[in-house]
Chain A
Amino acid sequence: CTGQLDVTPNDPDVILVDDFYTTPESYKQGLAGVYGNLSLTGPSGPGSSSIQGLDAGTSQYGRGLWNLNELASDGAVWSWENDPGLRSLNRNTWSATNPILRGMFGRLMNSVSYANEYLRQTTDGALNDRGVDDATRADIQVYRAEARFLRAMAYYNMMDLFGQAPMITEDDPVGAYQAPKADRAELFAYVESELLAILPEMAEPLMNEYARADKAAAWMLLAKIYLNAEVYIGQDRYADCLSYCEDIIAAGFELTPDYLMNFMADNDETVARNEIIFPVVSDGITTQNYGPTTVMINGQVGSTEANGGDFGVAAGGWGGALRVTQQFSEVFMNGSYGTDDRNTLITADRTIEVSDIADRSTGYIIGKWSNKTSGGANGSANEIVDTDFPMFRLADVYLMYAEAHLRGGGGSATTAVGYINDLRTRANNPNTIGQSALTLDLILDERQVELHWEAHRRQDLIRFGKYTGSAYNWSWKGNAPNGIPLGAHMAIYPIPEASLAANPNLTQNPGY
């Protein structure tokens, strides 16, 4: 009877890999699984997670990016400091045991392993074995390029946040493979070469299905690594950045007439699609996750205002989970942005200072994000939102162009000023600028005003030399109410202790 020991899954939702890849549709479902890692935390609802060591919802890809860029900077404070790891992000006191860092490290590398698995299952050999027809094979070639894009994006985030990563491709085994370490320079080269290699396979800009990456998404990622190349590898690549920005802008994307439409429940259906270059999908019914849009919309609801009804969620939201720092508010209140659509600060009965993180009536709150549609209807559920998260959007490209130009990347000052003014005009801000006002300081403020709470802030502050050190102190920076300088090592996160133990080829970042 020993043959009885060979069992197979009986569950309709858990099947052997060869039973999964049986139809043309299954290859698309497999690709959706790789994309899904950006949004879903696990296959069994928003409480499930493929990543361990932290709360399932907190392990969401975009939420990790958001936490590590906004909470760890002047972008926002998280009121519930009980939530593991959040206190030390708020206060820049993290260590290698921080569960959110472990979760983000694992989540990003999960994108790598999902993409690698997809590439393994779609080799010519595998497709031959399964007798896949030519039409499907043609689609699969594009799918494979997109899987590689997602892998490159994960490595870009690894390079940005952790400064190193285990280098694993589809040629490596599944199991407990301890991959060699790639440092920032190696990651930079890898991401660049992968993106350049897949470009010919990617769909033309705006020609792919919504939420799937196209050439513009790859260009955007290239522009991002070139813009930050000085931070990553000490090289000036602003010209390359600017050149890709031009490609994107020329590809037909358009600013949404109403700034806030980009951040609404129907931003996957309206003209916001023409501004959003690459979204991460969320849906209150079919794509449930506790990702950045759900966190921001529930989190931005004030504890005393109970204004969730304005944003299509329960009146109390998450009880005032998020507020902004004093320095964040001051940028909006400096005169140029008083009537700007992008200024959604809610200030009544609140102090501008966040004197006590646990006191949710201190500090201003904002109302940028919403689970209401542009027509005013509520999203499909009242906690998990329908609002997609724009990972990349055109406004960022405008600002990157201007910045790359200022940093010597070429292009034209007139064009750069025009882009800034386009953004201001779109936001009904009458204070357009002239060429003389175009400075890096202005760019940094303009980026905050335009792109706040979109998971860019930490990266921006680092590129502008204002994150560590004493050039800029925001409240609770370094765990002091008025902020104190941070050590230079804090510009890169530590390698999580568990990840380091599981792969000794990695090395702890200096200073930790």
Chain B
Amino acid sequence: QTMTVRGVVSAASDGGTLPGVTVSVKNTTRGTFTNAEGRYELSVNAGDVLVFSFVGFETLEKTVATGTLDVVMAETAQALGDVVVIGYGTTNIKDATGSMEAISEEDFNKGNIVTPESLLNGRVAGLTINQGGEPGAGSTIRIRGGASLNASNDPLIIINGLPIENTSVGGSRSVLSSLNPNEIESFTVLKDASATAIYGSRASNGVIIITTKEAQDQLNITLGMQTNVSQLANKFDVFSADEYRELINERRPDLVGDLGDANTDWQEEIYRTGVSTNFNLSAEGSLFGKVPTRIGLNRTDQEGIRLTSEFERSAATLNMRPSFFDDALKVSVNVNYSLEKNRFASGQEGNAITFDPTQPVYDEESPFGGYFQYYQDNNDGVWDVNDLTPFAAWNPVANLMQTENRSTVNRVFGNIKLDYTLPFFPELTATVNLGYDEQSGEGFSRTSNESPVTQPPDQLFLGSSSEYTSYRVNRLFDGYLRYAKELTRFNVEGTVGYSFQKFKDDNWSSGELLNDQEDSEPVYNVSPDLVLIGLFGRANLSMDNKYFLTLSYRADGTSRFAEDNRWGYFPAAAVSWKINEDLFPDSDVFSTMKIRAGWGITGQQDIGDRDIYLPRYSIGLPTSQYQFGNQVLQVGVPIFRNDVIKWEETMTTNIGVDFGLFNDRFFGSVEYFYKESKDLLTNSAIADGSNFSNAGIQNLGNFTTQGVEFSINGDIIRSNEGFNWNVNYNTTFITQEITKLALGADILAGGIAGGTGGNIQLHRVGYSPYMFYVHKQVYDETGMPIEGAYADLNGDNVINDEDRYLHRNGIPDVTMGFLSNMNYKNWNLSFNLRAALGQYNYNNVNSVNAQLANIKLNNVLSNIPVSTLDSEFEITENVITSDYYIEEASYLKLDNITLGYNFTNPWFKGMKGANLSAGVQNVFVITNYSGIDPEVFNNGIDNTIYPRARTYFLALKFNF
């Protein structure tokens, strides 16, 4: 029986009508959109089910009964007012006092997502993620720039309440590479001390809480498949073979005889087109009608673009949420297993840049497996390393193909969480969370005996072989009590708890297996256990749902410090006030306006060493013995110790305003933060002769970071034609300054290639950390740099290290992220942009290669960067410290663009829907920087990176 159904769709939060909502008849192609007033009209059969869907709202299904069907749609997690996971509990973001941001599935980046952090790169103000280009690569993650100089700047990462280590087990690509991104429900990024201080000793660099998907009662099966094709996006500009011949003819006619006949682009040769696939299957539902259970399976096979590099992950996750005693006891069990397999490919970029382009990749006559190498038989009757051309570079393709470096990593991690609400005292909940994370990696590296690279003592070409294992385990016990009481005008909530976590690790490596010498004996490295104990409490008070106060306190003990300094105390306080409700409750513009202010102290103890306070001796390795008479003795030497080492502390002040405009159609925040780290754990000079080194980790120095963050989200367009455009923009300004160092002494930083142990950066009081420490280049009247001519900045008529100055750094002043998401009917187009401004790189590729003498430095020809002709520099040594090589490296990147289509009518029985999407990752980079990618590691020192590929992908996802 056909009928017409009409209705109004409105939003649950404020009752406002919603234009542009898709209204479709379930399992058919029929449908319409709500008009500007939120009204719709549709011809249906009685009993049909209507599906209401709209970006930012929970999809709703209603059965048609009468001719009128008004519906109220609830906003989904992205909007203000949702529950977010925080330390030892949850909060409502509308009532939150601290600086935090929650990103859930709808806001995740799309595209070729292999590791979890890719989901939120660029999404959160104050969070920078610098991800590597290799398959399954890890990232350098910073929240508000980090808080430390020499101790770790990595944020604390917590998966379902289990803090994980910030360094990966041997053989693994990264700490997060074993985690299936498809199973992640949300990230909460805790930025200021009032949000993080509950984690006390590990909170100075911010906290990222990862929550995996929880089982739902309804049966739901999804299957996702994705194929990616990756290609090299950019090459370093060196001479092509023909250009190189011309260069030699023109500049070094004496070397024409050394030229080969081939035309090889070595940068093409060391890369390939990488094909990757990704399968995800998840199934959830209620087991036996009682236990919500979810299973997730993932298989990722990724080929890197650098020859031979591979990443494979097989992961299974299980979540079960049974409850007992009429829901008084809720149990959540998460078990994750992953098997990660890698093949690592060593960096050959530098070699490919400089290898003579007129030489071939292959040479049939070559005894080195058919690869071209520089050699000549010296006819001494032995075929050994003395038959190689001294100092000739190795064929980079051969280097990749003749070495097999593989690893396998097994990881089991998970947690069991028990929440018990006392039946006779419902305000009180007791929670116990037990966590476990065990990782074991093993791997080997073998180099063919056809490779000339390995040179054991007898100098024959033996190849090379070695193995290693690496093991880590970490165990967690958390127990806490939560009391919550709602009164008429006041809400009171309190949490107190105890946390214990213990980390163990050990590593073994075989040494060289093909060389039976004392320097090839196995090496064990076993760290002391690390134990962290915390006692914590937090109180939340609110009045009239307008005024909020949070107080927290944590006492933390660490096994890293001696008994007297072992405990650190970390208080925090924050207030917020929903100002609009008092001052302009009827504003048409401001639907929300909340002012937040927070203060707190957090700590840092992650200095690598776990027992630096103990009087220890190191026993020399077999390679580090000393000879008395005819006896070789293993030496015993005392190790640097610091028995007064203590917590590094960071005090953070944060002031922010959260706002919602036009019924929260737009919402965002502005905040200012100021962080002051003191008693910095710095590796600095110690009085010579007083200890067992001339430098070591000491609590010396202060450091400040301040910045402003701004973010805004919202729907630019909500049309009644079904077109919606949602954007998210965030930007962060950060400045850092070192305010105190040990006795005012500068600290060199930033090691560079070229020479042995050179540094190009310096920490100095009054400046940002990692400033480039360079000579000031002098130019002639035509603007050409004069080789080796530097300004005599101290005026003593001697040009030496005293004339170096601090100039720029590699840390951007401003970072931005922009996500755009457009929907038109069943189509979706999204892209995200990321930018960094005020960032400079030291172009170490040019500083060691872009000099004419490098054309023939030793016995064979080498390619040089084309930019050498801009400077006409001759000799590396004369110019390597010049500020000429500091280049602006600001950039705008289009990280991803994805076009998707939702199929709402099933193709076969049982299918609920499907989504097909296609897109490009790493679409373009706009920059003036001359290297292949302005986004480098090592605080702006560019000595080549694994190139970030341009990836084309096609994905299909089914819902059953």
Binding site for B on A (CB under 8 A): 1-2, 4-17, 20, 26, 28-30, 32-33, 35-37, 39-40, 42-46, 48, 50-58, 80-84, 87-88, 93-95, 97-99, 102-103, 105-106, 109-110, 112-114, 116-117, 165-166, 168, 172-179, 209-212, 268, 281, 283-288, 303, 306, 308-309, 314-317, 319, 357-358, 378, 380-382, 479, 497-499, 501-504
Contact = CB atoms under 8 A, between A and B. Distances in A.
| Cβ-closest 8 pairs across A and B | A316-B390, A82-B755, A55-B757, A106-B694, A501-B745, A209-B629, A109-B689, A109-B688
B562 to A, nearest CB: 10
A210 B628 CA distance: 6
Given A13-B619, A44-B618, A84-B755, A176 B531 contact: no
Given A5-B531, A32-B636, A50-B640, A16 B746 contact: no
A314 B859 CA distance: 14
B801 A113 contact: no
Nearest to A379: B457
Nearest to A118: B638
A29 B627 CA distance: 10
Interface in B630-686: 630-644, 683-686
A4 B534 CA distance: 12
10 contacts: A1-B533, A29-B619, A43-B620, A82-B756, A84-B758, A103-B694, A178-B687, A308-B390, A382-B455, A501-B685
A15 B616 contact: yes
Contacts of B799: 93
B529 interface: yes
A212 B628 contact: yes
B878 interface: yes
A226 to B, nearest CB: 25
B693 A7 contact: no
B762 to A, nearest CB: 10
A14 B685 contact: no
A387 to B, nearest CB: 13
Interface centre among B634, B642, B694 (most CB of A within 10 A): B694
Nearest to A105: B688
Given A29-B635, A286-B622, A309-B386, A53 B691 contact: no
A17 B853 CA distance: 53
A33 B621 contact: no
A146 to B, nearest CB: 10
A114 B636 CA distance: 10
B617 A14 contact: yes
A284 B627 CA distance: 12
Given A52-B693, A80-B877, A306-B390, A43 B688 contact: no
A44 B621 contact: yes
B273 interface: no
A42 to B, nearest CB: 7
A17 B459 CA distance: 40
B800 A95 contact: yes
Contacts of A8: 528, 611, 614
Contacts of B623: 45-46, 285-288
A268 B524 contact: no
A179 B558 CA distance: 32
Given A11-B526, A502-B745, A286 B627 contact: yes
A54 B609 CA distance: 21
Given A32-B635, A46-B623, A281-B626, 9 more contacts: A17-B638, A33-B637, A39-B626, A40-B620, A58-B757, A106-B694, A166-B689, A285-B517, A502-B742
Given A26-B636, A106-B694, A166-B688, A7 B531 contact: yes
A55 B451 CA distance: 29
Contact of B624 (A42, A55, A106): A42
B332 to A, nearest CB: 25
B325 interface: no
Interface string B186-214: 00000000000000000000000000000
B13 interface: no
B683 A52 contact: yes
Given A29-B633, A358-B853, A9 B614 contact: yes
Given A176-B687, A177-B687, A288-B519, A316 B858 contact: yes
Interface centre among B759, B848, B858 (most CB of A within 10 A): B858
A166 B858 CA distance: 45
B748 interface: yes
Interface centre among B455, B636, B641, B754 (most CB of A within 10 A): B636
B527 to A, nearest CB: 7
A360 B759 CA distance: 24
Given A17-B615, A32-B633, A175 B691 contact: yes
Contacts of A303: 858
Contacts of B684: 498, 502
A150 B630 CA distance: 21
A285 B622 CA distance: 8
Nearest to A309: B386
Interface in B579-617: 610-611, 614-617
B484 interface: no
Contacts of A283: 627, 632
B626 A499 contact: no
Contacts of A54: 757
Contact of B629 (A177, A211, A503): A211
A9 B637 contact: no
A16 B614 contact: yes
Nearest to A107: B694
Contacts of A116: 689
Interface in B93-137: none
Contacts of A179: 687, 689-690
Nearest to A47: B623
A314 B617 contact: no
Contacts of B617: 14-17, 20, 30, 33
A88 B529 contact: no
B531 A81 contact: no
Interface centre among B690, B695, B876 (most CB of A within 10 A): B690
B382 to A, nearest CB: 11
A113 B690 contact: yes
Contacts of A109: 688-689, 694
A93 B618 contact: no
A102 B848 CA distance: 25
A381 B698 CA distance: 39
B689 A82 contact: no
Nearest to A3: B531
A211 B628 contact: yes
B335 interface: no
Nearest to B634: A29
A7 B636 contact: no
Contacts of B500: 1, 4
B744 interface: yes
A81 to B, nearest CB: 4
B459 to A, nearest CB: 5
Interface in B527-571: 527-531, 533, 557-559, 563, 566
B559 A497 contact: no
B802 interface: yes
B559 A113 contact: no
A30 B637 CA distance: 6
Contacts of B876: 82
B692 interface: yes
